[in-house]
Amino acid sequence: MNTTVNYGGYSTQPSDYECPDGALSLSLNLINENGTIAPILPPQLVRGYGAVTPVYIHKVNSGSITILRNSSLSEINMLYSVDGEEQSPVQLVNYTPDASTDGYVEQVSSLGNILMILTRSGIDHFIWDSETHKYKPLGNAIPEISLSFGLRGNVEYTEEYSTGINSVLVKDMYNEWVDETKEVITSAVLAKVNKFIADNATNKGRFIFPFFVRYALRLFDGSLINHSAPILMHAATGETPNVLVNSLDKQDGSDNHYEKMRYRVAAVCHDLDFQVIGSGQSLEQLKTTWADIVKSVDIFVSAPIYTFDPNGKCEIFIEDDVTDLRSTCRAMDYEPGLNAGIYKEYEVFSMYRNVFYNKIHDDMKPHFNRRCQLPLLSDSSSVPDKIKNNAQFYLLKSINIEELTEERTMIDIPEDYLGSLVTREAMTDDYDSHDVLIARTAFDYNSRINIANVKKYIFPGFPIKSAACYNNAANYSYRVLFFIKDDGRTITADIPYSTFGDLDSRLYLYHPSPNAFKAVIYRKNSSETLMLECPMKQHDFLAGSYYYNEGGSLPWQRVPAGSPEIEASPASELMVYARNKIYTSAVNNPFVFPVTSITTVGSGEILALSTAAKALSQGQFGQFPLYVFTTEGVWALEVSATGVYSARQPVSRDVCINAEAITQIDSGVIFPTDRGLMLIAGSQTECISDAINSIVPHSLLNLPRFGENLLFKFSQTAPESDRFMPLPPLGSLLKTCRMAYDYSNQRIWLLFPTRPYCYVLSLKSRLWAMQYTNYTSALNSYPDCYVVAPENYVFNLSCMPDAAATVQGLIVTRPLKLGGADIHKTIDNVIQRGNFRKGHVQSVLYGSRDLMTWHLVWSSKDHFMRGFRGTPYKYFRIALLCSMSADESIYGASIQFTPRLTNQPR
C-alpha cells in the first residue's frame, strides 16, 4: 500500500497514540509555513556590546539610542546611532541609581525625547539633546521651589465729601435710621466707596480686600504642576474701605434732623511682592537642569473677598475705637525710616492716625471714632465662609524662571488688569503633583505614558514662609507636623524648624492631601516653646485639607520645659501604595498626571500594561485599546476622546506569571500563564501553546543512536552542557521566558535565557518549531525584531534572508500509524518529498510495537530509503537530518508499506 504523509509542526499533544500522522516531535531549525517545512534562516548580526547589556532602544527624531546596562544592574550607558552609523558608547551623564535607596533598575521607557528609567527609588528622567548627542539628566522630580508673598501697604484717602441729607429725619442716629435716611446715605456713600475702590485699587493693580494668592510651575506644554497652598493675604481683617465721618450738620432749630454729612473714604491699598525662599540649589536646578521643561512660575490670585455687601444699605453710624481691623503688610508711609523692610500685623486705624495727623490740616482731620458702617454681609455670605469656600484662582503674572530672585520683588500688575480678573485663565486644581512617584511598570500609548503598580512618597507640606502672608517683625522658629490618614494608618509628616514672624490671628493653613486631619505647630524663641493644634477638614472644592481660625487669638499652649515634641513618621512610612491604579500622563508630557486620568482597576496588583493595534471587535475599532494584567486576571479598558480610561470589565481570569514576557502583536497580546501561552484579542482569550504544553519531560534519547549519531552530528560544535535533550515541560519555563515578535515574518519567538533553544510559532500556519540558539531577551525595535544573545550580541530576526546561508535542521516525526494503530506493518520504501538538493536530507526509520521501545529499522545518506524489508511494527518514526538553504523545503514523505493482517494465512 502507498500513502503520503504531510509533515505538520512540532507538538507534544495529544498523546502519541492519538496524534495524527505527520505531527512532529522535533522540528529543529525548520518551521512549517505556507504548507511546507522551510529553514529558519540565521539572523543578521547587528553588533556586540561586550560587558554591557542592551535593554532598550530610544527612538528620537534624529535617530535612535540603544540603552545599555552593566552587569551590576545599576549603571546605565547609551549608544547613539544616526542612519545606522553608530557612535562609541557614552555613559549617561552623572547617572548611577542611588544604591542607598535601593535604586535597582526595574524598567526603561520613553515618551518623545524624554527617557525614563524606573528604579525602586523613583523615576529618573533624561532629556535627549539632538545637537550635542547627549542626554541631560533631570532627576526623578521637578525641584520644589517655595515663594513667599507679602503686601506693601499705603494709606489712601479721598478729599472731604459733603453730602446733603435733605432734612431727613433720623430717629436715632446710632441705632436705627428711617428708610429715607438709608436710601439717601447709601446712595451717596456707596458711590464714593466704589469709585475709591476703582481709582485706588482695581485700576492700579493693588489690593484692598483680603484675597488668596497661589502659584504653580508652568511646563513646556502649558500645563501646571507643583501648585502651592492657597495663601491668605490679610489686606484687611474687617470692613474696608472706611467711611470716616468728620461732622454731621443739624438742620437749624432741630434736634433730630440733619441736612449735611462731611466724610472721607480711606483704606490701606496694597502692592504684592514675592521672594524665593529655601534652597538656592533648587532654584539653580530649575534655571539650569530643568530649563527645557519648566518655563515660568505662574502666580494666580482669587477675586477680592468683599468685606461689605455692595448691594446692601447703610443703616447706622458707629462711634468706637476700632482695634480689630488689621492689615499684615509693610507700611510704606507709616513712621517713615523707623520700620524699613518690616512686615507685620498693623492696626489700620493706627495707620490712619499717623498718616492723617502728618498730612491733613487740623480743621480737616476726620474723627476716627465716628464712621458710617457699610452694608453688612449676610450670615450665608460672611467673610469666613467666603474664605473657607474659595477655590477659584485667576492668572495674575507669569514670571520667567530666569527672573526668579531671592530678593523681595514687587509684582508689576498692569493698570486695569484686576478689573477683568475673572476673565483671565483659571488655575487648574492640583492632585499630588508634589509626591514622588515610584512605578514598577510603564507603557507608552496614544502619546501618553501610563505607569502602574505605583507607590509614592507623601509630600510633607508647605513651610510656614510660603503658606502664610509674609511677616518678619519677630524672630520665631516654627515646626509643622501634618497628620494624614491612609489605609487605616496615621502618617505624621514633618516640616523642620524655620524662622518666621508672628502668625496672623486669622491663620489659614492648607495641605494638598484631603486625608490630612490635623496639624500641630511648634513655635520657639529663646525663652519658651508653644504648641498650636489645628484641626483640619477636607476642602469642599479643592483636593486638599485646610484649617482656618475665624477670629480671636490663636490658642497657643505652652510646652513645659524638657517635654518631648511629637515625633514624625520615619521615611519608610511616608509611603502610599496604589498597586491597582494606572496613572496616565498628559499628552507628550511625562511629568503631569491629571487626577482625571487616574484609573482604578479591580483590587489586585497591576503587573503590566499592553495594547493591541488592530480592530478588536467586529464593526468597532479599538473597543479595548489597553489591557491591564493584574493578579486577578486581565482587564480591558476603554478610552474616551480626551484620552481618559475607564475599567470596563475583566475579560479573562488568567493571571500572567511573567510580566516581562508580555508581547504585543498586531491583533492581540500574548502572555504566559500557568495554563500556557494565552492570546487575548478583543474580549476573547485562547491558549496557543496547548500543542506543546506537555506536563512530563519530552525526550527522544530513547531512539537508538539518536543521541550519539543524529543529535551529535547536529550539535557537534556545542559543548555537552548545551545539549538540549530532554526537554522540560513548557510550564516550568514560562516563569523565566521572554518573547519577541517578528512582524515581518509573522512569527513569535519564545526565548529561554538558560536553555540552548527557543520555540518559534508561525502565525501564518499556527504551527510550532524550535531553533537551536541561546537568545536571552528581546529589544523594542518595531518593525524589526531584535534579540540579545550571550556576550551581548544583538541580532535582527526580521532581516532579509541570506540566499547563501545553509541551515542544519533536524526533524523527527511523532509515531506514524499509517491507517491502523494496532495493525502490524512492514515498510519497504520511504521517499522524502519537497524542493531540496540531493544529499541535503538524510533519513532514518524507527519502529515500535508499544510506543515505548524503539528499534532502528533503516537509514540512508539521502532522502530515499528502499530495498529493505524486515520485522513488522505497529508504529514508525522518521528522523531527518537536513542541511538546507533558503530556496529549499520539505513537504512530506511517500511511504510504501504492507499490512500484516491477522485474519489471513501467512
Q: Which of 66-80, 189-203, 559-573, 784-798 has the lowest mean pLDDT?
A: 66-80
> Is a pLDDT exceeding 80 seen at residue 695?
yes
The type of residue at 250 is K
Is the separation of the CB atoms in 465 and 478 below 8 Å? no
Please state whether the peptide bond connecting residue 366 to the residue before it is cis, i.e. omega within 30 degrees of 0: no
Q: What is the pLDDT of residues 132-146, one digit of tens each?
A: 778 888 888 899 899
Among residues 495, 464, 498, 533, the alpha carbon closest in space to that of 231 is found at 464
- Structural Rg of the chain based on CA atoms: 41
Alpha helices (runs of H) in 41-119, residue ranges in sequence order = none
Is the separation of the CB atoms in 262 and 317 below 8 Å? no
- Looking at residue 621, its pLDDT comes to 43
Q: What is the pLDDT of residues 872-883, one digit of tens each?
A: 999 999 999 999
**Whole-number Å distance between alpha carbons of 79 and 804:** 31
Among residues 755, 719, 761, the alpha carbon closest in space to that of 737 is found at 755
Contacts of 732 (CB under 8 A, 6+ apart): none
Question: What is the average pLDDT across 222-241?
Answer: 94
**Whole-number Å distance between alpha carbons of 836 and 838:** 7
What is the pTM for the complete model shown? 0.86
- Looking at residue 426, its pLDDT comes to 95
Question: What is the average pLDDT across 746-760?
Answer: 91
93-to-99, 124, 125, 138, 283 alpha-carbon distances in Å = 17, 12, 12, 10, 21
- Looking at residue 619, its pLDDT comes to 41
Among residues 24, 169, 75, 5, the alpha carbon closest in space to that of 698 is found at 24
- Residue holding cell 533558503? 886
Q: Which of 131-135, 189-193, 324-328, 688-692 has the lowest mean pLDDT?
A: 131-135
905-to-246, 858, 899, 900, 901 alpha-carbon distances in Å = 143, 27, 13, 10, 9
- Looking at residue 375, its pLDDT comes to 92
At residue 755 the predicted structure's pLDDT band, cuts being 50, 70 and 90, is confident
Question: What is the average pLDDT across 99-120?
Answer: 79
- Residue holding cell 509643622? 480
Considering the chain, what percentage of its residues have pLDDT values greater than 70? Answer: 87
The SS3 assignment for 732 reads: helix
**Whole-number Å distance between alpha carbons of 513 and 535:** 14
At residue 616 the predicted structure's pLDDT band, cuts being 50, 70 and 90, is very low
Strand pairing of 326-331 and 146-157?
A: parallel
User: For residues 863, 12, 753 and 630, what is the CA-based torsion angle, rounded to 10 degrees?
Assistant: 150
At residue 396 the predicted structure's pLDDT band, cuts being 50, 70 and 90, is very high
> Is a pLDDT exceeding 50 seen at residue 652?
yes
Q: Which of 99-108, 652-661, 745-754 has the lowest mean pLDDT?
A: 99-108
At residue 94 the predicted structure's pLDDT band, cuts being 50, 70 and 90, is very low
Adjacent-strand bridge partners of 610 = 627
Q: What does pLDDT average to over the chain?
A: 86
Considering the chain, what percentage of its residues have pLDDT values greater than 90? Answer: 47
Contacts of 505 (CB under 8 A, 6+ apart): 237, 326, 345, 549, 551, 552, 553, 554
Q: What is the pLDDT of residues 555-581, one digit of tens each?
A: 999 999 889 999 999 988 888 888 999
Question: What is the average pLDDT across 192-215?
Answer: 95
- Looking at residue 205, its pLDDT comes to 94
Is the separation of the CB atoms in 438 and 122 below 8 Å? yes
C-alpha triplet 323, 326, 330: angle, nearest 5°: 130
> Is a pLDDT exceeding 70 seen at residue 196?
yes
Question: What is the average pLDDT across 492-503?
Answer: 92
Q: What is the pLDDT of residues 770-828, one digit of tens each?
A: 998 889 999 988 888 999 998 889 999 887 767 678 888 899 999 999 888 888 999 99
The type of residue at 844 is V
- Looking at residue 549, its pLDDT comes to 92
- Looking at residue 333, its pLDDT comes to 73
- Looking at residue 414, its pLDDT comes to 92
- Residue holding cell 512618597? 457
At residue 361 the predicted structure's pLDDT band, cuts being 50, 70 and 90, is low
Q: How many CB atoms lie within 10 A of CB 453?
A: 24
Question: What is the average pLDDT across 497-524?
Answer: 93
The SS3 assignment for 791 reads: helix
Q: What is the pLDDT of residues 454-481, one digit of tens each?
A: 998 889 999 999 999 999 988 899 999 9
Q: Which of 15-24, 57-66, 355-364, 465-474 has the lowest mean pLDDT?
A: 355-364
- Looking at residue 164, its pLDDT comes to 74
- Looking at residue 232, its pLDDT comes to 96
**Whole-number Å distance between alpha carbons of 477 and 464:** 10
| E-assigned strand segments in 640-766 | 645-652, 663-664, 669-673, 676-681, 684-687, 738-742, 747-751, 758-762
Q: 248 or 272: whose pLDDT is higher?
A: 272
The SS3 assignment for 491 reads: strand
Question: What is the average pLDDT across 215-229?
Answer: 94
**Whole-number Å distance between alpha carbons of 768 and 694:** 14
| E-assigned strand segments in 699-773 | 738-742, 747-751, 758-762, 767-771
Q: What is the DSSP letter of 873?
A: B
Q: 323 or 439: whose pLDDT is higher?
A: 439
Q: Which of 420-434, 537-551, 637-651 has the lowest mean pLDDT?
A: 637-651
- Residue holding cell 483704606? 267
Please state whether the peptide bond connecting residue 726 to the residue before it is cis, i.e. omega within 30 degrees of 0: yes
**Whole-number Å distance between alpha carbons of 619 and 600:** 28
Q: Phi/psi at 128 (nearest 5 deg)?
A: -85, 130
Question: What is the average pLDDT across 20-39?
Answer: 92
Please state whether the peptide bond connecting residue 143 to the residue before it is cis, i.e. omega within 30 degrees of 0: no
Q: What is the pLDDT of residues 712-723, one digit of tens each?
A: 666 655 445 456
